[in-house]
Amino acid sequence: MLGSSMSIKDDAERQELEEELTPVNSASDPFYVLILGSDARESDSGSRSDVIMLARVDPSVGSVSLVSIPRDTMVTINGRTQKINAAYAHGGSAMAVRAVSEFAGVPISHFVSVHFEELEEIVDMLGGVWVDVPESFSAGNGGMSFEAGNQLLNGQQALAYARERYHVSGGDFGRAQAQRQIVEAVIRQVLASSPVELPGLIGQLANCITTDLSVTDIVGYAQEFLGKELTVYSAICPSYTLNQDGVSYVATMFNEWKRMMQLVDAGLDPNDATAEIPSEQADNADLGAASNSPAPRDYEDLAANAMTTDDVAAVE
């Protein structure tokens, strides 16, 4: 029943998605997951993905790398320059997977979609989540004020925090960081449960998502992580704001993105400026190539005069 409730209902869409996904050879092999979230309320129309994260999961060592891709990132879709979140609206989960896979230069093995309206339910189900809020800000888009510091957020607070972009440093880039914090906090809360509670808890969470994974798959991966010290890396595609032909986009810093994806693929900290890239990743020309991006390749001066992902308040 749970497998049915979280599966993609449309047979054609499910088949198209399966054709885009790359199977994992072994349960212990690292793999990539595309996580999409929608901030649409019930009264809203449209189905653009407001949250786009690429996760690299390595069950063998207990590590997860969460990389946000700004929703307004400039890419080419169906021969036209568009924002990357339009891929889901135009072609559903399959086109979203294809767009992110081309942009990041990695094969994607699984797909997960979660609605923001269900975020409250997930967090409250877990008894709240601990989040280190990097800066104080007054009530904005989410309708709540927050003081800086590590704190336990209930579902309503977590949703407001994950939605805020007008009163935080870095705007939408700051909101993407908050979203990664919430995802990490949920992961940690789930894995902190006992092995006896885990299947039932994941069964409850399954009601809040749409995915190609089965409940058995999810429980299996979670059990691979049990007993290991969880490592979660968090990053965002190095980007800057760009106005082109009257449209506001997010453009990519290509050199920095390439290095970040090399580190992610190697299972290293994507923010480590001193890390040495292993030869396997250094020789992989696809990693971070952003082959579907029409953004300016000569971007240094443009980024110097724009809001960038470096403007986000740092989490200690």
Handedness of CA 299, 304, 306, 312 (dihedral sign): positive
The 10s digit of each residue's pLDDT in 110-152 is 999 987 677 888 899 899 999 999 999 987 666 799 999 999 9
The answer to whether position 154 is within a domain reads no
The answer to whether position 92 is within a domain reads yes
In whole angstroms, give the CA distance from residue 159 to residue 163: 6
Burial 183-194 (b: 16+ CB within 10 A, else e): bbbbbebbbebe
| Domain of 220, in residue numbers | 11-116+194-311
Regions in the chain scoring below 50 on pLDDT = 42-46
Tokens of 178: 């908050």
The answer to whether position 159 is within a domain reads no
The answer to whether position 169 is within a domain reads no
The answer to whether position 201 is within a domain reads yes
The answer to whether position 243 is within a domain reads yes
Amino acid at 148: A
Report which of 252, 230, 254, 229 is spatially closest to residue 242, judged by C-alpha positions. 252
Position of tokens 């470096």? Answer: 310
The answer to whether position 242 is within a domain reads yes
In whole angstroms, give the CA distance from residue 46 to residue 44: 7
CATH (domain of 258)? 3.30.420.590
pLDDT of residue 6: 80
Indicate the number of domains in the chain: 1
Q: How far is CA 48 from CA 36, 113, 247, in A?
A: 10, 12, 17
Handedness of CA 243, 293, 63, 213 (dihedral sign): positive
Q: Where are the beta strands (DSSP E) in the chain?
A: 31-38, 51-58, 63-68, 74-77, 80-83, 110-115, 129-133, 149-153, 209-211, 231-236, 239-244, 247-252
pLDDT of residue 39: 58
The 10s digit of each residue's pLDDT in 46-91 is 456 789 999 999 999 999 999 999 999 999 999 999 999 999 989 9
The answer to whether position 179 is within a domain reads no
pLDDT of residue 43: 45
